[in-house]
Structure 1
């Protein structure tokens, strides 16, 4: 199979179709109404990040010469045009969904979103009082001079572009909408009717109070939002100056190159052209949208109606044999344990760290963290351990995109608390989620470990579906000791026997597992793989999967996000099926299952099948040895493969068609997994 001829979906286009699946959730009438609003917010937030990172990269590539484009295998300028076309269609779908469906259905629930034109006298007085008490002092308009450059607009901040008119002469101004106040103000209830107004409309209602010194006949305001290039140009050398360098780069990010200007579609053309001219934007960068920008804020949309307007919050389930009132290490010493969040509580991981912090027998804790919660109980446990005289090593990945500032803050707090903070390896992000506790038992060092597919982050663990293994297995902890020794020296781990660690081991180890399935298929034995991940984009890995398909290996893929592999193509992928599950929780676990001639091998990992995860990051994959836990993971994956409610087929048409199974019963995997874990031992 020549490399150039591989059937592939472009990764950016595939990602946009993933975000379309998020939009499908917002459109799904079976999803509770407030959660549909929140899916709109997730769609919007995703698109912001896409422009800040992926479109920013493409814009850079578009400036390369023709020879460089040949190397890339595609024309970045054409791709940017294609992206713009898709995004415009999605934005139209988004606006129609919000304005013509969601808002009307909220009204049916007696929840009314009022704008500045819909306030009666009583509510108008309430809004004016709020404006004068909370808002007026924070608003300082910038009057624009056509002869002067436009002031720098902050990345993703919302501005009003204001025009004051008197006798056909106009003045222009900008007002930045503050982001330190709630975007929503709940107004006094009347006759059991609920009313909400956005901060934007409060300001619109009070424009006269802001511009009272200017004589004018008319005043109009339109919202705009600029998305900037978020990529950082960093010195790759890890040194004492690294944090300072990163902090300065984060400041630069706020002034990165403009990538996308979203503006109220009602804005007059002369005002649009004024901004375009002043900012030097091209047509691909312009997106006409609704009167409300930064829709990601709607993730905090208040539910002032019935509880049923939101998804039911199920209580976290217990994990077999684990108890918050007993030593976890005593339990782990007897048997491996698996925590499947958010169905089961992440508090078990916190309890594990707290126990290590106070246990006199524990001498050392080593941990690698990527994204930390804002008020991280993980960090508090590590600081307490250091104060209790333990040796605590914490590798913090400062380059975790969009969490850099938070990670800098916690790094400083940990260093002040006596934790030894390590900043990774030059040229490689450390994306692994691993923890090792060293305990002295009967005069010998014994190791306990927590290995996870997701971050050590108690906030995201409430919505990210992940698996965490707690183990004392010598096979795994022995390798993990060597991983931390290498990381502490700023070196890449090598020569491991059980763990699969990027960037040294992953590609050869995964190819070997796939080759084994191909060999068995050619010998007429049963051969299959079930692979679950967030993203599949590495072309060499896709070529390998095509090769395995042609050899007769049955391959079932569960890929939540972008998937560049095209299933069902003759002579390439006839034995491959792909589904994507988008539902209440974010499917984040990476699970690899290999038939292995009937003796299944199951791995969990922090790595997706993307080039960056395989070749450019430190990732840790770990086998599940315990037969009961292997059975549990297999059954969870089987439940997901049976999903015919929230699973979509990935295919060449990119139509996000809902996945149909042989079952006439509706199977919704996230509900079914909760019930499976609840009742499996009953």
Structure 2
């Protein structure tokens, strides 16, 4: 068979580009310079990413196939049926590589006297510990399903792992069963240490060791257990029941997601054919689904939570989040912002400033209103508690909460219900549009006037992710910007009106037009003999319209530097198409999440921070905000940190070049940008 092309002459297919990004995550798991336990955690991230890919992207392509369409226009010129085949080939290759990586890491762990044992390597002392642990903690949590030809198999849970058990009975008949791996128990069980040696057994193998206890009512000649996992379509389906609230509809849809169509079936490749065929028949899985032979263990996303075992030498050095020079957590943050703008760059600087802002607003008698957008809340959210506190204190609190933040719906639903009970005014966005912007504005009574204070961010107001996601947050009392922010909240309430914004760039109405206008200025300046340049940092770029505009700028001689962590459908460095475009991706300890747009503007750069990637959904189907930076010192800070990231020659990869994910190597001084950025902020504090 002729190997199919994964891209047209002008674009990389977005699904293929995403898989190339996940390959970069797998590179980190393979990297000998990454601390051992962190390598295991990258392996978990790789696996978790792949689960979400199948729930969302693969499922989308499969729906196109099931509808009898080719999908060529939306899939970059590749037929949907062909794309499913390509994806499966790539995933099988990556899964094989990931198993090899896991094996290598386990050998290295043994060099460090850390042993991951299975049921065949249990000594008598460990056997006693496992027995007690099983009876006390595991057995009460088990769900075991006995199967036969007459039994209808219940719907297996999305992304849950199961042990498929086969018993050979005395009459040579087979008895099948499924054991659900309990999620309520840590996947990794620490066994008693022996001297300086540490031992860990996975719950999967603990269950294998205890099979006789689980099936003690059966008289069998032999028993075996192999792991399987099913991934289901992650799309939410909504009921039309008018008697239900929006929260109830979303909540029901999240529950029904567990019953979505299967899009991937992964199984231990050593499973016997009889058991495999029996299970596939029971689950209604056929050759049109993505069937992936795998290793002994699935749900390797759990490796994200591999225990540290007290071995800090096998982990990244922890950094202490820094303060922002001139901004104190021990005095009024509103008074400080009244005098000048401040920039928070998480996780290098502490997220506590955002919580402090909201706590102060909740207590200040002069603060009358608080309005904020929320996309993904932490499981334990100080943001939510501050807003509830404000409502209890009589403030008018409006929260635009996105209940359709994929895979975080339940956490948002829980907090939405709490806030509603305490008198917070909830706004559920705009019909047909996700609210992805990250902004807050308060109104404070000063004299006879109301003055606005607020913040605009590139990231979610989430204390947990703020420790590992890089994001910018601008604190400001600039009335020009905050007047526009207030207009967006008015749009949520009266979305039949289209508002005009003088300073912010907003989706869905203005982003593409504004971006094109900014690019046109660079094209014009370059054609007039001046040096035009564009510098972009984002998570993904998939919009063909925007990519074509960047190609146009490149052909006009505009120098374009792009830092794109994830999906990049643009192909850089092609003569006559994109020869003035360079693109890199940085994958390291922190997840690069900030979005920044910098336009040369003939020597007076225009700098924006944004919630929006340059994807069709961000430009046309979401409420997004790009905020101009007017403070010259902050503008310079953002350009400095962009430059540090651009100079990375340790963790940067060249993307969409002939050698896929080749590291950026040069003779310059070694720059690992995330370490260098932290050092940059340390020096700012010293000066």
Contact 1:483–1:493 under 8 Å retained in 2: no
Distance 1:507 1:413 in 2: 37
Q: CA offsets, 1:332-353, max 9 Å, x none?
A: 0111000000000100000000
What's the CA shift for 1:492?
6.4
Distance 1:140 1:365 in 2: 46
Equivalent residue of 2:66, what SS?
coil
Asked if 1:501 is matched to 2:506, the reply is yes
Structure 1 residue corresponding to 2:41, chosen from 34, 38, 42: 38
Asked if 1:620 is matched to 2:662, the reply is no
What's the CA shift for 1:71?
7.2
Aligned to 2:261: 257
Asked if 1:329 is matched to 2:334, the reply is yes
Structure 2 residue corresponding to 1:311, chosen from 309, 313, 316: 316
Contact 1:606–1:620 under 8 Å retained in 2: yes
What's the CA shift for 1:320?
1.3
Equivalent residue of 2:358, what SS?
helix
Contact 1:452–1:469 under 8 Å retained in 2: yes
Distance 1:362 1:42 in 2: 42
Contact 1:482–1:493 under 8 Å retained in 2: no
* Count of matched residue pairs: 677
Contact 1:424–1:490 under 8 Å retained in 2: no
Structure 2 residue corresponding to 1:163, chosen from 161, 166, 173: 166
Asked if 1:666 is matched to 2:683, the reply is no
Equivalent residue of 2:596, what SS?
strand
Distance 1:122 1:199 in 2: 18
After superposition, the Cα gap between the structure-2 partners of 1:401 and 1:278, relative to the gap in structure 1 and judged at 3 Å, is same
Structure 2 residue corresponding to 1:444, chosen from 441, 449, 460: 449
Distance 2:91 2:240 in 1: 34
Distance 2:364 2:310 in 1: 48
Aligned to 1:269: 273
What's the CA shift for 1:67?
6.6
Contact 2:64–2:70 under 8 Å retained in 1: no
Equivalent residue of 2:662, what SS?
coil
Asked if 1:191 is matched to 2:195, the reply is yes
Distance 2:367 2:73 in 1: 57
After superposition, the Cα gap between the structure-2 partners of 1:324 and 1:398, relative to the gap in structure 1 and judged at 3 Å, is same
Asked if 1:403 is matched to 2:403, the reply is no
Contact 2:71–2:80 under 8 Å retained in 1: no
Aligned to 1:23: 26
Aligned to 1:246: 250
Q: Which moved more, 1:199-208 or 1:131-140?
A: 131-140
Structure 2 residue corresponding to 1:388, chosen from 384, 390, 393: 393
Equivalent residue of 2:663, what SS?
coil
Contact 1:492–1:504 under 8 Å retained in 2: no
Aligned to 2:4: none
Contact 1:494–1:505 under 8 Å retained in 2: no
Q: Which moved more, 1:267-276 or 1:174-183?
A: 267-276
Distance 1:442 1:10 in 2: 57
Aligned to 1:55: 58
Distance 2:201 2:278 in 1: 30
Equivalent residue of 2:281, what SS?
helix
Aligned to 2:639: 634
Q: Which moved more, 1:666-675 or 1:140-149?
A: 140-149
Distance 1:363 1:568 in 2: 53
Distance 2:74 2:212 in 1: 57
What's the CA shift for 1:205?
0.4
Distance 1:486 1:66 in 2: 37
Structure 2 residue corresponding to 1:79, chosen from 67, 83, 106: 83
Q: CA offsets, 1:637-672, max 9 Å, x none?
A: 000010000000012436100012451x21100000
After superposition, the Cα gap between the structure-2 partners of 1:106 and 1:501, relative to the gap in structure 1 and judged at 3 Å, is same
Contact 1:19–1:43 under 8 Å retained in 2: yes
What's the CA shift for 1:143?
1.3
What's the CA shift for 1:70?
6.3
Distance 1:288 1:142 in 2: 23
Aligned to 1:143: 146
Contact 1:259–1:285 under 8 Å retained in 2: yes
Contact 1:425–1:491 under 8 Å retained in 2: no
Q: TM-score, normalised by structure 2?
A: 0.96
Q: TM-score, normalised by structure 1?
A: 0.97
Distance 1:287 1:68 in 2: 24
Aligned to 2:97: 93
Aligned to 2:430: 425
What's the CA shift for 1:490?
3.8
Asked if 1:228 is matched to 2:225, the reply is no
Structure 2 residue corresponding to 1:364, chosen from 366, 369, 372: 369
Distance 2:449 2:524 in 1: 43
What's the CA shift for 1:74?
2.6
Asked if 1:203 is matched to 2:192, the reply is no
Distance 2:8 2:138 in 1: 59
What's the CA shift for 1:308?
1.2
Structure 1 residue ranges without an equivalent (≥5): none
After superposition, the Cα gap between the structure-2 partners of 1:179 and 1:650, relative to the gap in structure 1 and judged at 3 Å, is same
The residue correspondences of 1:550-565 to structure 2 (distance < 5 A) are 550-565=555-570
The residue correspondences of 1:528-539 to structure 2 (distance < 5 A) are 528-539=533-544
Equivalent residue of 1:113, what SS?
strand
Equivalent residue of 2:597, what SS?
strand
Distance 1:492 1:22 in 2: 43
The residue correspondences of 1:509-658 to structure 2 (distance < 5 A) are 509-653=514-658, 655-658=660-663
Distance 1:314 1:621 in 2: 29
Distance 1:365 1:426 in 2: 23
Aligned to 1:299: 304
Distance 1:477 1:173 in 2: 60
